[in-house]
Amino acid sequence: MATGDQARGAVDEQPEDGRRPTISDVAAHAGVSVTTVSHVLSGRRPVSPSTQAKVRRSIDALAFRPNEIARSMRSQRTHTVAIVIPNIAHVVYPVVARGVNDELRPLGYQTAIYDTDGDPRIKAEVLQAVTARRVDGVIMFGFDMTSADAAVLEEADVAFVNGGLNAATDGPWDCVRSNQPAGMQDATRHLVGRFGGPVAFLGGMPGDGPADIRESGFRSGMAAAGLEVDERLVRRVPYSWEGGRHAVAELLAGPVVPRSVVCANDLIAIGGMAAARDRGLDVPGDMAFTGYDNIEAGTMVATTLTSVESYPNEQGRACARLLLDRISRGYSGPARHVGIDTDLIVRRSSTPRDDV
Amino acid sequence: MATGDQARGAVDEQPEDGRRPTISDVAAHAGVSVTTVSHVLSGRRPVSPSTQAKVRRSIDALAFRPNEIARSMRSQRTHTVAIVIPNIAHVVYPVVARGVNDELRPLGYQTAIYDTDGDPRIKAEVLQAVTARRVDGVIMFGFDMTSADAAVLEEADVAFVNGGLNAATDGPWDCVRSNQPAGMQDATRHLVGRFGGPVAFLGGMPGDGPADIRESGFRSGMAAAGLEVDERLVRRVPYSWEGGRHAVAELLAGPVVPRSVVCANDLIAIGGMAAARDRGLDVPGDMAFTGYDNIEAGTMVATTLTSVESYPNEQGRACARLLLDRISRGYSGPARHVGIDTDLIVRRSSTPRDDV
DNA sequence: TTGAAAGCGCTACCAC
DNA sequence: GTGGTAGCGCTTTCAA
């Protein structure tokens, strides 16, 4: 059969000397200049069809792949974007990273994920590493970004976007923020509207996520509903199942038992529901709950959990778009701040039986 | 106060022309040759203390950071390792990535995570990209790696390790495998030993994870326990809560109701338990379950789930170590295959009440 | 103990 | 339509 020609085209004709073929190997093989090879590769200059064909044949024959490092060295572009996050094992960050990747890959950019383990020292190292490696842009997600961080990036002349956690005050750089106060407020009003008070708030520990911002959302939700906050029902606990379980157990032993419990994340809520159930309470009949993050586990528990969805994928995409504006669309205007709205996903933990 | 000197040392004295300082800027500033600067940086050649001091002062003054791209261009090493995974949003992969990172970072390597979205076309692209960017090594995790993949890597002369899914037959390259058959077998024997038959197996869909390998583990567990497999109780369902719920609902409507249910992952098990509970069954009183993966949700459900822990972090670390042997410790011997054992984490779903 | 200079593989400016 | 060649910023001979 006549399989010979095409098949042979892809075969490495070069003596295998361990060295990858370079552009000048191709030029020599095709009998043209490196300039010409470069131009058939880039298409930045017309090359006659016959020469093109020759060159392409040589490229195939030698299995030539341009060395991106050398390319970057000249062009000062790496077509790589770094996303720096505190902890890849945390629920939301992988989804954010996917969003970034989804937006970037079609445009020929690679996304490299860097994990700092929530350690500022490692963050600094990573920042040095990515700037030294000359990535085209950096997405800092889930950090309260400091001016020092920004200075490192600016000095290295690499574009960046900050996303994720709401900072006390956003710096003069591009930001993507989930509208968490509104999310908490929605949850609070929803719960109060359906079940009334007393209302408890189980917040996360400060420094381990957006603790304060969610509490303030709760408070404004209460204000909007015209209710006073009972400070005895406001607790800061670890962002964990155990934290929620413990807190609800304590509330149940306390002077005021809440009718509604607004939780700063789903783990707290799920733990809280478990504690309520352990004491023989019905959820939501005796005590209603909302969570935050809309994790999968919330759909798998006996009483499915009403939760705030913050669309981390979309947050990632938004970061990527802001960054692309700067690194490939030439935007160099003032910093932009984009907000991503949340949605309340209502499930059984806040749905009176009659409504089912 | 005498803060002047140190503070000023870190200040950029160079007129800000937008260009980052290079090694020759430092040389000029210090009044030495670039060679000397290079050697104080690398320590590969003795430099007189006074010269060293001069150079270091200039480095600080100019805030010089060596350009890693240029460095890589000469040295052909990037000190970057890529880990390629099918889906960063899947439970286990982030943990694997952390394991890799934990092992690599102390040695000065960066870990860049690449997500293929489970798409072989994207996998090929990523492989091309990663080799063109000349990473020092690649960890392919969670793929049934093909010889074609291996060929790409080998031709590019980049070291690699395959980890995660058990392939039908491992290729002639370094592999890290979780000992899944033994894990399933343990779970099966555990369940049978405590509750006996009939025993059901709810496996995942082929092509969407290690479906066959887990089923074969189940079968050998049954054989070890001296029980026949009732084929009516062996089902392949999606690796999801809904898949498990549906399957158990069907089993309950069928001719044989299982006493024990071995599930190929935790989602299936949790969904299955929900279905059992919906029909008024007690878990484990009427029907006992085991899962696989030991996800967090398994500790948050009403009846906590017995599950197989496969130590993905350790799998990642093992991959990293094998890779390091090749890229920095000069190992070039034959392919090595390392297995990571699993443990059965016993919880309430398989613990008779008396035992609690 | 120090320097000059030749590249690493590529792009782009100039020339023809 | 095509080619020569000067760098990108660094490391590493070779020479002093």
Report DSSP letters for A181-206, one per residue: HHHHHHHHHHHHHHH-SSEEEEEPPT
Question: What CATH code is assigned to A79-179+312-342?
Answer: 3.40.50.2300
Closest approach of chain A CAs to the CA of B216, in angstroms?
A: 28
Residue nearest to nucleotide C12 (CA to C1'): A35
Q: Residue written as tokens 């950019």?
A: A109
Closest approach of chain B CAs to the CA of A223, in angstroms?
A: 33
Chain B residues touching residue A74 (CB < 8 angstroms): none
Chain B residues touching residue A129 (CB < 8 angstroms): 68, 110
Parse chain B into domains and list their residue ranges.
Answer: 4-73, 79-179+312-342, 180-310+344-355
Q: What is the pLDDT of residue A345?
A: 97
- Nearest Cβ partner for B89 among A70, A95, A114: A95
Show which residues sit with Cβ under 7 A of nucleic chain C.
A 19-20, 22-24, 34-35, 38, 41-42, 44, 64, 66-67, 70-71, 73-75; B 31-36, 39, 45-48, 50-51, 70, 73-74
Whether residue A96 has pLDDT greater than 90: yes
Better-scored residue on pLDDT, A134 or A272: A272
Q: Do A155 and B70 touch (CB under 8 A)?
A: no
Q: How far is the CA of B244 from the C1' of D10 (A)?
A: 58
Q: Where are the alpha helices (DSSP H) in chain B?
A: 4-9, 23-30, 34-42, 49-62, 68-75, 92-104, 120-132, 147-155, 180-195, 211-224, 241-253, 266-278, 312-327
CATH 3.40.50.2300 fits B180-310+344-355, yes or no: yes
Q: Where are the alpha helices (DSSP H) in A209-294?
A: 211-225, 241-253, 266-278
Q: Confirm if B303 and B187 have CB atoms less than 8 A apart.
A: no
Q: How many residues does chain B have?
A: 356
How far the first Cα of chain A sits from its last, in Å, is 69
Whether residue A179 has pLDDT greater than 60: yes
Q: Confirm if A61 and A12 have CB atoms less than 8 A apart.
A: yes
Q: Which residues contact B162 (CB under 8 A, 6 or more apart)?
A: B139, B140, B141, B143, B145, B170, B171, B173, B174, B175, B176
Q: What is the pLDDT of residue A16?
A: 55
What is the spatial distance between Cα B277 and Cα B287, in angstroms, rounded to a whole number?
Answer: 10
Q: Do A88 and B97 touch (CB under 8 A)?
A: yes
How far the first Cα of chain B sits from its last, in Å, is 67
Q: Confirm if A139 and A320 have CB atoms less than 8 A apart.
A: yes
Q: How many residues does chain A have?
A: 356
User: Where does residue A16 rank: exposed (0-12), middle (13-18), buried (19+ CB within 10 A)?
Assistant: exposed
Chain B residues touching residue A271 (CB < 8 angstroms): 300
Better-scored residue on pLDDT, B126 or A269: A269
Better-scored residue on pLDDT, B108 or A311: A311
How much is the CA Rg of chain B, to the nearest whole Å? 28
**CA–C1' nearest nucleotide, residue A26:** C9
Show which residues sit with Cβ under 7 A of nucleic chain D.
A 31-36, 39, 45-48, 50-51, 70, 73-74; B 19-20, 22-24, 34-35, 38-39, 41-42, 44-45, 64, 66-67, 70-71, 73-75
> Which structure tokens are listed for A132?
């030294």
> Which structure tokens are listed for A174?
């591009």
Q: Confirm if A166 and A179 have CB atoms less than 8 A apart.
A: no
Q: Where are the alpha helices (DSSP H) in A16-91?
A: 23-30, 34-42, 49-62, 68-75
Under-50 pLDDT residues of chain B: 1-12, 356
Whether residue A30 has pLDDT greater than 90: yes
Whether residue A355 has pLDDT greater than 80: no
| Closest residue in A to B274 (Cα–Cα) | A302
Q: What is the pLDDT of residue B7?
A: 36
> Which structure tokens are listed for B29?
């500033």
Q: Confirm if B69 and A73 have CB atoms less than 8 A apart.
A: yes
Tell me how far CA of residue B294 lies from CA of B91, B110, B191, B266, in angstroms: 10, 29, 16, 7
Whether residue A204 has pLDDT greater than 50: yes
Whether residue A354 has pLDDT greater than 70: no
What is the spatial distance between Cα B52 and Cα B50, in angstroms, rounded to a whole number?
Answer: 5
Q: Confirm if B106 and B138 have CB atoms less than 8 A apart.
A: no
Q: Which region among A14-18, A290-294, B244-248 has the lowest average model confidence (pLDDT)?
A: A14-18
Q: What is the pLDDT of residue A162?
A: 95
Q: Tell me: the pLDDT tens digits for A46-63?
A: 999 999 999 999 999 998
Q: What is the pLDDT of residue A201?
A: 96
Closest CA to A178 of A346, A336, A345, A309: A309
Q: Which residues contact A209 (CB under 8 A, 6 or more apart)?
A: A165, A239, A264, A265
Q: Do B69 and A88 touch (CB under 8 A)?
A: no
| Closest residue in A to B96 (Cα–Cα) | A89
B353 DSSP assignment: G
Residue nearest to nucleotide D7 (CA to C1'): A74
How much is the CA Rg of chain A, to the nearest whole Å? 28
Q: Confirm if B183 and B308 have CB atoms less than 8 A apart.
A: yes
Question: What CATH code is assigned to B4-73?
Answer: 1.10.260.40
**CA–C1' nearest nucleotide, residue A25:** C9
Q: Please report, to the nearest 10 degrees, the dihedral formed by the alpha carbons of residues A68, A70, A71, A76 taken in order.
A: 110
Q: What is the pLDDT of residue B13?
A: 52
* DSSP calls for B24-79: HHHHHHHTS-HHHHHHHHH--S---HHHHHHHHHHHHHHT----HHHHHHHHS--S
Q: Tell me: the pLDDT tens digits for A117-174?
A: 889 999 998 998 889 888 999 999 998 788 899 999 988 889 999 998 766 667 899 9
Q: Which nucleotides of D are covered by protein (CB under 7 A)?
A: 1-5, 7-13
Phi, psi of B177 (to 5 degrees): -125, 135
Q: How far is CA A63 from the centre of its chain?
A: 37
Mean pLDDT, chain A, rounded, equals: 89
Q: Longest C-alpha distance within chain B, in Å?
A: 90
Given this chain, do its domains B79-179+312-342 and B180-310+344-355 carry the same CATH topology?
A: yes
Q: What percent of chain A has pLDDT above 70? A: 92
